[in-house]
């Protein structure tokens, strides 16, 4: 009995040190060496100031910016400490009201044009930094008008920021909203 108790204690200590201390240190060290920028949040600086992360969505509401997907992360949305979907059922009144309001706003912006689903629905995390190329295309006329750019010039900027499927098969084509908006501020500032 005493021998089994000592073995249990030693195994608990050994696995705690191995899996609770050494393993996380090794994995963190490897991540820092191999993927340092991404492991630290893939942060973006613009004109000497930290403005966000390539990995976490944020709201853009000004009409001269491309808008992100809606967010259910936190009460006001886009709270990285509360990453989650809304978990509302498709028949939930709050969800239906929010989507209906988004659809009305977008239809007023771009009448008679099909609205891409990712402009009215949240992602599973609530913090998706990307929109679909269709969502970017839907917003081109508004952004071009506000920035006094031609739609063709703006479409070329969007195309430069469109990322294809990883390895040609993983994920979907996407446009990082923060990077796109920062590029627009760089080449055609509104201030």
Q: Tens digits of per-residue pLDDT, 80-91? A: 777 777 777 888
Handedness of CA 139, 88, 86, 165 (dihedral sign): negative
For residue 22, pLDDT over 80 is answered with yes
Q: Identify whether residues 8 and 64 lie together within a single domain.
A: no
For residue 191, pLDDT over 70 is answered with no
Q: Are 64 and 154 in contact (CB under 8 A)?
A: no
Report the domain count for the chain: 2
Give me the phi and psi of 188, to 5 degrees please.
Answer: -150, 70
**Among 10-19, 63-72, 79-88, 138-147, which is the least confidently predicted range?**
79-88
Q: Identify whether residues 59 and 69 lie together within a single domain.
A: yes
Q: Identify whether residues 50 and 141 lie together within a single domain.
A: yes
Digit-coded pLDDT (tens) for 152-181: 999 999 999 999 998 988 989 999 999 999
Q: Identify whether residues 97 and 115 lie together within a single domain.
A: yes
Q: Identify whether residues 66 and 9 lie together within a single domain.
A: no
Token pair in block for residue 54:
């390539």
Token pair in block for residue 58:
């944020």
Q: What Å distances lie between residue 158 and 4, 121, 191, CA to CA?
A: 65, 21, 21
Q: Identify whether residues 87 and 131 lie together within a single domain.
A: yes
Q: Identify whether residues 87 and 106 lie together within a single domain.
A: yes
Q: Identify whether residues 69 and 99 lie together within a single domain.
A: yes
Token pair in block for residue 112:
């008679």
Residues 6+ apart with CB under 8 A from 25: none
Q: Identify whether residues 149 and 73 lie together within a single domain.
A: yes
Q: What Å distances lie between residue 175 and 2, 57, 112, 121, 150, CA to CA?
A: 62, 12, 23, 16, 19
Q: Identify whether residues 30 and 63 lie together within a single domain.
A: no
Token pair in block for residue 34:
């191999």
How confident is the model at residue 8, as a pLDDT? 92
Q: Identify whether residues 110 and 157 lie together within a single domain.
A: yes
Instruction: Please compute the mean of the pLDDT values over residues 2-16 and round it to a whole number.
Output: 92
Q: In which domain, by residue range, is 33 found?
A: 1-40
Token pair in block for residue 182:
């920062």
Instruction: Please compute the mean of the pLDDT values over residues 138-148 and round it to a whole number.
Output: 93
Average pLDDT, the chain: 87
Q: Identify whether residues 105 and 25 lie together within a single domain.
A: no
Nearest alpha carbon to residue 134 among 154, 121, 150, 115: 115
């Amino acid at each position: 009995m005493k021998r089994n108790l000592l073995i249990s204690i030693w195994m608990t200590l050994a696995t705690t040190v191995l899996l609770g201390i050494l393993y996380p240190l090794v994995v963190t060290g490897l991540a820092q060496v191999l993927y340092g920028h991404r492991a630290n949040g893939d942060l973006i600086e613009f004109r000497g100031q930290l403005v966000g992360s390539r990995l976490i969505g944020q709201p853009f509401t000004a009409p001269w910016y491309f808008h992100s997907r809606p967010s259910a992360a936190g009460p006001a949305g886009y709270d990285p400490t509360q990453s989650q979907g809304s978990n509302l059922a498709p028949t939930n009144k709050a969800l239906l009201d929010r989507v209906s309001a988004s659809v009305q706003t977008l239809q007023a912006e771009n009448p008679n044009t099909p609205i891409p689903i990712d402009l009215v629905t949240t992602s599973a995390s609530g913090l998706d930094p990307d929109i679909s190329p269709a969502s970017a295309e839907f917003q081109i006329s508004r952004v071009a008008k506000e920035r006094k750019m031609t739609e063709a010039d703006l479409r070329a900027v969007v195309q430069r920021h469109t990322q294809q499927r990883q390895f040609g098969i993983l994920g979907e084509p996407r446009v990082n909203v923060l990077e796109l908006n920062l590029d627009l501020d760089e080449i055609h500032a509104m201030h």
